[in-house]
Structure 1
Amino acid sequence: MIKYRKRYGTWEYRIRYTDPLTHKQREKTQRGFRTKQEAISAAHRVELEQLPRSDEEMKDLPLKQWLQHYMKTYRKKHVSINTYAADEDAIKRVLPFFQDVTLRQLTPEQYQQFINYLQDQGYSRSTIRNTHILMHGAMKQATHNRRVSHNPCAEVRLPKKVPNEKIQYLPSDMIAPFLQIIKRRSLEQYFFFKALLETGMRKGEALALTWDDVDLNKQTIQINKSFIVRTKSIGPTKNRKNRTIRFSDSLKKELLNLYNMQNQNKLLYDELYLTELNLVFSTKDGNYLPNSTTFNTMRHACEQLEIEPLPIHSLRHTHAVLHLEAGTSMKVLQERLGHGSLEITSNVYAHVSETLEKDSMEKYEASTKRIFDVDSL
């Protein structure tokens, strides 16, 4: 039982509970809350997380209910919008497999079977890993809260990383035909895809871009937010860090064309044009480009080029490869792409770097063969 009262200008709660070991009545109290609602929230957290509970109470808690509590209490206000949305997707993969399982019933064997199931269903290694991170964190918190005695996710075997796994990107000789195909299909999307290739922005970063972020004179773009497709809202960048990148004369010309085209659309649509969004890449009436539309356009371009379907994210890789081929250092590329560390950039593009180094060495040997040929003297 919980009671609340106001004393000396602040609120307090008193929780009376039965110790499951001694069966004696005990009490937990805390004072100093500014409002009654603050006291209620704190009391509920203590009752759920700290106070000892009987075996009967604990074994009946469904896994689904615990995951919902974990998301609300330990994730929602502590991770980015993108990460929280990804966690929600992970839970959608978890719950169908463990429909009627309670928190204490989940075993290491069941969890390993679940991971194997995801692999059999064709989920990528990164998707499986992200799902595991969510589950491991939830069960670790459950052990900390004394709801379970051990973490059943601790010793799981995840899919092994494929050696020399190659990134997907568009070959340089296909970039012009690729853009030409898109230009014929949709002029609005042409500018969007052209910018992705020229800047290496993430898709969400490009969709969130406003004209206030673009300096056409200095030829710079401020990347400081991202569009969240699932919630159709604006959030921070992936690692919550802002960056400024320079763009080429070619892209400057296209952005000027886009700006002029949007001004014409504003006259055409009049008050129906969504001027308040001020988006750089938008539909004809100034709204966000639909996710399904950009996906279908990417798929259409790959079909026309008669190549395997590529994700839109591959254009970011294409941009990076072009920079590496031009001699850009990993450090500069890291800052341009907005990676959290140089190690991430080096790991992602290690295969590309090795290939470029091998090509460079072959050219070096060909050009210096006569210089070091002692036998020819």
Structure 2
Amino acid sequence: MQKEIIIHNNRKVTKTTKKNGAISYTQRGVYIGIDVKTGKKITSSITAKTLRSLDRKIIQARFDFEAKGSTLKETLNISNFEELAEAWFTSFVTWVSSQNTINRVRGYLDTYIIPKFGDYKPEEIKSADIQIWVNKLAQQSKKSVESGAKKSKKGHAKDFGAVVYKLSDIFDYGITNFELANNPARAVKIPPKPKANKERIMVLHEDELAAWLTYLNSLPNTRANRRFRVICDTLLASALRINELLALTIQDLDFEANEILVNKTLMWKAGNKKLGIKGTMVCKNSAKTDSGNRRVAVPKQILEDLQAFHNEMSCYFEKHNLPTVDLIFPTIYGNYMCDRNERATLKKRLTELGLPNYGFHLFRHTHASLMLNAGANWKELQIRMGHKSIKTTMDTYAELAPKKKAEAVEIYLREIAKLTD
């Protein structure tokens, strides 16, 4: 291979002759233009087989640079609203720390936003399109609530307002990153949330609770039923949230103080069907809130039942030559347990008994009702429930203590009687 420098149109060009006689011409440091994002001069090396072809390639390189926006910086292009929404969501995941929030917003995209606007060009979506759509969502939600359904159909829930706010966030992202001209979602008026006609009873009162406890004790003595019984009994005695309970390890049981240490919770990390990623349970090494990190006093029998079930699972793992785990409620593979199957079992059994079937949170509410009726003060209850504010405790549970309501009337009558004697 032989190289020599020649002058072509007052420019230095490297002529390369290969052993087989093939010739090429290379000009280095060819000025392409000014990068509009950095303000720097852009140069390039261009090679061609002939000098005439070299001149054409130099001109074409300058045209191509202008056509790409006169920048070498990476620029994302979108062809429809789905691509814009996915680009926004990729950034959104880095902005928030709550996996539950990520799961909820992913649901908004998959259930509402992408099915409706995914194929649209973002700049062609008008405020009227969104207004008609959200009005329809509100109507569907209202019908669902008025029907008395305990769980709305997919896409018929009351969170349509939150969906529109996220839609607006996506348009704002498009304005910032993709030079969209406007945000049509800002002009949309969100209809009010529909209100249920009847109050939902989310507590087991005395007769109902007695029936439930009797039923629990009558279940056949299988491992699945033993686990179910320990879960229900512990939730009732401690007011833990179900995913706080399923995150417990044997080290979280304090037998000296008869307390359960609550300092973590499980959450569902949604998968991605497009990428072939399955959802999974993950452990967040902190409770739902800072005040959720707490120690909850429980009867000693509860701790003994939890320890007994942990020992039972450890024996299972040893019998099958599997590594033991510290979790009290592991799967048979030693992983974190999802409450989905247990929740389905609970609702089925509550329904069969004619009891309210609002999932495991029913026991948390029932615990609060029992405590209030027995005379516990609000501050004590706030700490047990793990609420940040006592206002949250009072707003949530003020209606769950019918005995206290009756006591208020009796106190009033006694005081009036003193004045009229």
Which residue of structure 2 lines up, in the alignment, with residue 303 of structure 1?
351
Q: In terms of mean alpha carbon deviation, does 201-210 or 147-156 score higher?
A: 147-156
Point out 4+ residue stretches in structure 1 off by more than 6 angstroms: none
In the alignment, structure 1 residue 86 sits paired with structure 2 residue 104: yes
The answer on whether the counterparts of 2:243 and 2:266 sit within 8 Å (CA) in structure 1 is yes
Which residue of structure 2 lines up, in the alignment, with residue 361 of structure 1?
408
In the alignment, structure 1 residue 238 sits paired with structure 2 residue 288: yes
**What is the alpha-carbon distance in structure 2 between the residues aligned to residue 82 and residue 315 of structure 1?**
22
**What is the alpha-carbon distance in structure 2 between the residues aligned to residue 223 and residue 29 of structure 1?**
56
Task: From the superposition, tell whether residues 254 and 240 of structure 1 become closer, same or farther in structure 2 (CA, over 3 Å).
Answer: closer
Deviation at 1:187, TM superposition (A): 1.0
In the alignment, structure 1 residue 159 sits paired with structure 2 residue 176: no
The answer on whether the counterparts of 2:350 and 2:356 sit within 8 Å (CA) in structure 1 is yes
Deviation at 1:369, TM superposition (A): 4.3
**What is the alpha-carbon distance in structure 2 between the residues aligned to residue 204 and residue 214 of structure 1?**
16
**What is the alpha-carbon distance in structure 1 between the residues aligned to residue 187 and residue 324 of structure 2?**
49
Measured against aligned partners, the alpha-carbon deviations of 1:210-244 in whole angstroms (never above 9, x if no partner) come to 11222122122222222123422212433366511
Equivalent residue letter for 1:364: I
The answer on whether the counterparts of 1:182 and 1:297 sit within 8 Å (CA) in structure 2 is no
The answer on whether the counterparts of 2:292 and 2:387 sit within 8 Å (CA) in structure 1 is no
Deviation at 1:133, TM superposition (A): 4.3
**What is the alpha-carbon distance in structure 2 between the residues aligned to residue 165 and residue 339 of structure 1?**
26
Which residue of structure 2 lines up, in the alignment, with residue 175 of structure 1?
209
Deviation at 1:350, TM superposition (A): 4.8
In the alignment, structure 1 residue 312 sits paired with structure 2 residue 360: yes
The answer on whether the counterparts of 1:200 and 1:315 sit within 8 Å (CA) in structure 2 is yes
**What is the alpha-carbon distance in structure 1 between the residues aligned to residue 173 and residue 387 of structure 2?**
29
The answer on whether the counterparts of 2:171 and 2:185 sit within 8 Å (CA) in structure 1 is yes
Which residue of structure 2 lines up, in the alignment, with residue 202 of structure 1?
241
Which residue of structure 2 lines up, in the alignment, with residue 147 of structure 1?
180
The answer on whether the counterparts of 2:252 and 2:262 sit within 8 Å (CA) in structure 1 is yes
The answer on whether the counterparts of 1:140 and 1:151 sit within 8 Å (CA) in structure 2 is no
**What is the alpha-carbon distance in structure 2 between the residues aligned to residue 167 and residue 330 of structure 1?**
23
Select 2:258's aligned residue among 210, 219, 238: 219
Equivalent residue letter for 1:78: V
Task: From the superposition, tell whether residues 61 and 302 of structure 1 become closer, same or farther in structure 2 (CA, over 3 Å).
Answer: same
**What is the alpha-carbon distance in structure 2 between the residues aligned to residue 67 and residue 150 of structure 1?**
14
**What is the alpha-carbon distance in structure 1 between the residues aligned to residue 200 and residue 261 of structure 2?**
27
* Secondary structure in structure 2 of the residue aligned to 1:156: coil
Deviation at 1:360, TM superposition (A): 3.1
Equivalent residue letter for 2:38: K
* Secondary structure in structure 2 of the residue aligned to 1:245: strand
**What is the alpha-carbon distance in structure 1 between the residues aligned to residue 288 and residue 197 of structure 2?**
25
**What is the alpha-carbon distance in structure 2 between the residues aligned to residue 273 and residue 131 of structure 1?**
49
Equivalent residue letter for 1:141: Y
Which residue of structure 1 lines up, in the alignment, with residue 64 of structure 2?
none
* Secondary structure in structure 2 of the residue aligned to 1:152: helix
Task: From the superposition, tell whether residues 293 and 351 of structure 1 become closer, same or farther in structure 2 (CA, over 3 Å).
Answer: same
Equivalent residue letter for 1:189: F
Equivalent residue letter for 1:298: L
**What is the alpha-carbon distance in structure 2 between the residues aligned to residue 273 and residue 136 of structure 1?**
54
**What is the alpha-carbon distance in structure 1 between the residues aligned to residue 398 and residue 161 of structure 2?**
21
Select 1:326's aligned residue among 371, 374, 379: 374
Task: From the superposition, tell whether residues 350 and 240 of structure 1 become closer, same or farther in structure 2 (CA, over 3 Å).
Answer: same
Task: From the superposition, tell whether residues 88 and 111 of structure 1 become closer, same or farther in structure 2 (CA, over 3 Å).
Answer: same
Alignment of 1:129-148 (within 5 A): 129-145=161-177, 146-148=179-181
**What is the alpha-carbon distance in structure 2 between the residues aligned to residue 319 and residue 187 of structure 1?**
21
* Structure having the higher Rg: 2
**What is the alpha-carbon distance in structure 2 between the residues aligned to residue 370 and residue 241 of structure 1?**
44
Which residue of structure 2 lines up, in the alignment, with residue 63 of structure 1?
81
Which residue of structure 2 lines up, in the alignment, with residue 54 of structure 1?
none
Question: What value does the CA root-mean-square deviation take over the aligned residues?
Answer: 3.6
Measured against aligned partners, the alpha-carbon deviations of 1:232-260 in whole angstroms (never above 9, x if no partner) come to 221243336651132222xx213213313
Deviation at 1:100, TM superposition (A): 1.6
Deviation at 1:152, TM superposition (A): 0.5
Measured against aligned partners, the alpha-carbon deviations of 1:75-121 in whole angstroms (never above 9, x if no partner) come to 33523112111211121112222242232233333333333444415
Measured against aligned partners, the alpha-carbon deviations of 1:115-157 in whole angstroms (never above 9, x if no partner) come to 3444415347654344344334333433444534125156432
* Secondary structure in structure 2 of the residue aligned to 1:76: helix
Q: Give the share of equivalent positions with the same residue, in percent.
A: 20
Select 2:397's aligned residue among 333, 340, 349: 349
The answer on whether the counterparts of 1:179 and 1:193 sit within 8 Å (CA) in structure 2 is no
**What is the alpha-carbon distance in structure 1 between the residues aligned to residue 261 and residue 168 of structure 2?**
36
Alignment of 1:12-31 (within 5 A): 26-28=36-38
Task: From the superposition, tell whether residues 337 and 104 of structure 1 become closer, same or farther in structure 2 (CA, over 3 Å).
Answer: farther
**What is the alpha-carbon distance in structure 1 between the residues aligned to residue 322 and residue 210 of structure 2?**
32
Equivalent residue letter for 1:222: L
Which residue of structure 2 lines up, in the alignment, with residue 372 of structure 1?
419
Task: From the superposition, tell whether residues 256 and 163 of structure 1 become closer, same or farther in structure 2 (CA, over 3 Å).
Answer: same
The answer on whether the counterparts of 1:197 and 1:319 sit within 8 Å (CA) in structure 2 is yes
The answer on whether the counterparts of 2:253 and 2:303 sit within 8 Å (CA) in structure 1 is no
The answer on whether the counterparts of 1:224 and 1:241 sit within 8 Å (CA) in structure 2 is no
